[in-house]
Structure 1
Amino acid sequence: MGKTADLTVVQKTIIDTLHKEGKPQTFIAKEDGRSQSAVSKHVNRKLSGREKCGRKRCTTNRENCSLERLVKQNRFKNLGELHKEWTEAGVKASRATTYRRVKEFGYSCCIPLVKPLLNHRRRQRRLTWAKEKKKWTVAQWCKVLFSDESKFCISFGVQGPRVWRKGGEAHSPSCLKSGVKFPQSVMIWGAMSSAGVGPLCFLKTKVTAPVYQEILGHVMLPSADQLFKNADFIKSTKSWLNDHGVGVLDWPANSPDLHPLENLWGIVKRKMRNNRPKNADELKATVKKPGLPYHLSSATD
């Protein structure tokens, strides 16, 4: 941490600027987030002329700043696009140099998270819901049955374009993508609670209100009886249930990231990435394969 070699170009520039302004090394170290030893070594190396040893950098600080602006303007540009646009501005640098500079800025090339579009009113409803449910006890959550549908695709390896981001920027709007198109797939309904998971239901048609009511009557209620026995339970879907005497958990709209079953679907899909089903039937068999976290002996078509 205290080595001068660990300092990036930007950090060295900050140290040099503050040192020229007459700031003490303790102040510079605090501002730059480095140890006083690292600051002292850099200043002393520069004063003794040792800082100039080695091969001269092929890009200037101004050119480096222009590259960082390009990254910030569009986080989804790939390395080739960044290099082309940077060199077209008159910078003489190789593709490898472009990559090194971007890494020096603190960026890593990552798979972007996908975030649902929420307006201000929806954000407020989500916040209110979270504050209310924060007071719930374990006993109250144990009475909840969560159900959800998820699409499983034959191909699991297509991740789409990557994004340049720094640590802590995973949820930054400029680092999120809106979504991708999927290949052949099957839609699956499932349910989970503190008592375990219910059987899977493979859906053959589009989920309309009558179809969903049929799922609730023929799959959800038997699952609830199996998981909760004679105990009361709460379902997180509002349609059809009031007429059947089932308590409903209020749920903010457009909020899949709040649903715990989304995490279980994600685990199942990650464990299936090494499988290569060729058709929908093989895909169903893969989902029901022993060893997956959602595996149960029964599944309904």
Structure 2
Amino acid sequence: MGKTPDLTVVQKMTTDTLHKEGKTQKVIAKEAGCSQSSVSKHINPFTRLIERRREGKDVVENKCTSNRDNRTLERIVKQNPFKNVVEIHKEWTAAGVSASRTTTHRRMQDMGFSCCIPCVKPLLNNRRRQKRLAWAKDKKDWTAAEWSKVMFSDESKFCISFGNQVPRVWRKRGEAQNPRCLRSSIKFPQSVMVWGAMSSAGVGPLCFLRSKVNAAVYQDVLEHFMLPAADQLYRDADFIFQQDLAPAHSAKATSTWFKDHGIPVLNWPANSPDLNPIENLRGILKRKMRYARPNNAEELKATIRATWALITPEQCHRLIDSMSRRIAAVIQAKGAPTKY
């Protein structure tokens, strides 16, 4: 197809005048002595561009599968999103759709599906979701000042090997076996269990647990680490202590300990780490330790202590301020796990 010739100055003036008078493009072309396509191009220079885009869109949409076929595919994927492309393609073709495996994958991408590592969240049955939802509704009007009175706590496990968090290595050809470029493999990596607490004012002292945490061990932690943390973070001000529902935490002897010491405990829904900002603080801690290479448990403890000391009150304050957003997310999800 040849290129549409440009109009002369006189033809452009004639076209503009007749167009303002409401003449059709056919009449304008005859009066101006040019082709109708030249008139159309001059009147609306974007017409052809839009037409080309529409033509291209029509070509793209002219696919070998119908909208009904695509809806069937989307339903198959949503019914079991953990199936691989081969399994999904097999089920799709069994439904009477004629398409290749590549087409199946392409249609899934067109729908917005992408293959990702699934997020790991605690299992929540309907009863637990309802309790989370009720808890969130009860706390939705709490202010930032009220949340600042809460001391959040948690036990966390740290290993010498940090799995997939270990970064990639930059090396040259022939340096694959260079000790400087090797990542050590540990069959049974040493680990330590750590108890810690935080508030909007910062973090308290860490406690490295030497044995399995039962009620007696936990009360010892409360006596020698939680109380000093409260003195450090709240001084003489009142505070509320937060803990999850681990057996050692909810034991009758532990409840008695809190009553004897006059410390109120925040009621807490089960399996709700997304509501505890100290979980995010643990993530920050592990990211900061990503490049550390401790060789034994003692070096690991030293690394944890040094990294914990780098946590600023500002970081803690920002995490505590997120409580209102966490609660809103739980209410929106009707008690289901959230992104936090």
Q: Determine the structure 2 residue equivalent to 1:5.
A: none
Q: How far, CA to CA, are the matches of 2:131 and 2:269 in structure 1?
A: 6
Write the deviation string for residues 247-277 of structure 1: whole angstroms up to 9, x where unpaired: 2222223322211211211222233344454
Q: How far, CA to CA, are the matches of 2:85 and 2:294 in structure 1?
A: 33
Write the deviation string for residues 99-153 of structure 1: whole angstroms up to 9, x where unpaired: 4322111112233222323333333332232223223333332222111111223
Matches within 5 A, 1:76-87: 76-79=82-85, 82=88
Matches within 5 A, 1:150-189: 150-158=156-164, 185-189=191-195
Residue type of the alignment partner of 1:60: T
Q: Determine the structure 1 residue equivalent to 2:303.
A: 286
Write the deviation string for residues 193-229 of structure 1: whole angstroms up to 9, x where unpaired: 1221011112121111111011001111111111111
Write the deviation string for residues 54-108 of structure 1: whole angstroms up to 9, x where unpaired: 8985x5336655543442232123456556766898855355x544322111112
Q: Determine the structure 1 residue equivalent to 2:138.
A: 132
1:260 equivalent to 2:277? Answer yes
Q: Which residue of 204, 208, 215 maps to 2:214?
A: 208
CA positional deviation for 1:157: 3.9
Across the two proteins, how many residue pairs are aligned to each other? Answer: 230
Q: Determine the structure 1 residue equivalent to 2:14.
A: none
Q: Determine the structure 2 residue equivalent to 1:60.
A: 65
Write the deviation string for residues 231-256 of structure 1: whole angstroms up to 9, x where unpaired: 22221246321111212222223322
Matches within 5 A, 1:109-124: 109-124=115-130
Q: Determine the structure 2 residue equivalent to 1:270.
A: 287
CA positional deviation for 1:191: 0.2
Q: How far, CA to CA, are the matches of 1:92 and 1:148 in structure 2?
A: 52
User: What's the RMSD between the two structures over aligned residues?
Assistant: 3.8
Structure showing the higher strand proportion among its residues? 1
Q: CA 1:232–1:205 in 2, change beyond 3 Å: closer, same or farther?
A: same
Write the deviation string for residues 180-199 of structure 1: whole angstroms up to 9, x where unpaired: xx965322110001221011
Q: How far, CA to CA, are the matches of 2:80 and 2:150 in structure 1?
A: 42
Gaps of 5+ in 2: 1-45, 166-187, 244-249, 314-340
**Contact 1:154–1:185, Cα closer than 8 Å, also in 2:** yes
Q: How far, CA to CA, are the matches of 1:42 and 1:284 in structure 2?
A: 67
**Contact 1:157–1:273, Cα closer than 8 Å, also in 2:** no
Q: Determine the structure 2 residue equivalent to 1:105.
A: 111
Q: Determine the structure 2 residue equivalent to 1:229.
A: 235
**Contact 2:86–2:101, Cα closer than 8 Å, also in 1:** no
Matches within 5 A, 1:88-103: 93=100, 95=102, 97-103=103-109
- TM-score, scaled relative to structure 2: 0.55
1:245 equivalent to 2:262? Answer yes
Structure showing the higher helix proportion among its residues? 2
Q: Determine the structure 2 residue equivalent to 1:191.
A: 197
Residue type of the alignment partner of 1:285: A
**3-state SS of 2:219 partner:** helix
Q: CA 1:270–1:221 in 2, change beyond 3 Å: closer, same or farther?
A: same
Q: How far, CA to CA, are the matches of 1:263 and 1:72 in structure 2?
A: 30
**Contact 1:156–1:272, Cα closer than 8 Å, also in 2:** no
Q: CA 1:247–1:63 in 2, change beyond 3 Å: closer, same or farther?
A: closer
Q: Determine the structure 2 residue equivalent to 1:74.
A: 80
Residue type of the alignment partner of 2:276: H
Q: How far, CA to CA, are the matches of 2:147 and 2:61 in structure 1?
A: 63
Name which one, 1 or 2, has greater alpha-carbon Rg: 2
**Contact 2:65–2:99, Cα closer than 8 Å, also in 1:** no
Identity %: 61
Residue type of the alignment partner of 2:127: R
- TM-score, scaled relative to structure 1: 0.61
If asked which structure has higher relative contact order (CA below 8 Å, sep 6+), I would say 2
**Contact 2:294–2:303, Cα closer than 8 Å, also in 1:** yes
Q: How far, CA to CA, are the matches of 1:120 and 1:248 in structure 2?
A: 25
Q: How far, CA to CA, are the matches of 2:90 and 2:160 in structure 1?
A: 35
